[in-house]
Amino acid sequence: AQSVTQLGSHVSVSEGALVLLRCNYSSSVPPYLFWYVQYPNQGLQLLLKYTTGATLVKGINGFEAEFKKSETSFHLTKPSAHMSDAAEYFCAVSDPYSTLTFGKGTMLLVSP
């Protein structure tokens, strides 16, 4: 069975600071990994995904994530936070044989 662990239900940063949201996964087969973002009162929007190939993937709004197999991690980063980045971020895992499994989410708070 797959699972996702997101460290920290809330992360607070100042505008312009580095954003780091942590995600570790468990999967018995090579995983597909995703980050979704949920803005207030909106649905889930795909930020980026890793399936195969380059382990550093770039997404929308300046976010990127690196797949590290040895660490079973897929942490999300952004060099400089904007106020508009305040949202809830979900890491998710799947594979060719199973459905998408989400982590519990991390709320990103950005202060001026």
Partner 1 sequence: EPEVTQTPSHQVTQMGQEVILRCVPISNHLYFYWYRQILGQKVEFLVSFYNNEISEKSEIFDDQFSVERPDGSNFTLKIRSTKLEDSAMYFCASRGTGTNTGELFFGEGSRLTVL
Residues that bind partner 1 (CB under 8 A): 32, 34, 36, 42-46, 49, 51, 90, 92, 94-96, 99-105
Q: How far is the CB of 91 from partner 1 (least distance, A)?
A: 10
Task: State which residue, 36 or 74, has the beta carbon closest to partner 1.
Answer: 36
Q: How far is the CB of 21 from partner 1 (least distance, A)?
A: 15
- H/E stretch holding 44 reads strand 44-50
Compute CA distances 83 → 15, 80, 101, 105, 112, whole Å.
6, 10, 28, 19, 7
Chain position carrying tokens 């597909």: 32
Task: State which residue, 15 or 51, has the beta carbon closest to partner 1.
Answer: 51
Task: State which residue, 41 or 112, has the beta carbon closest to partner 1.
Answer: 41
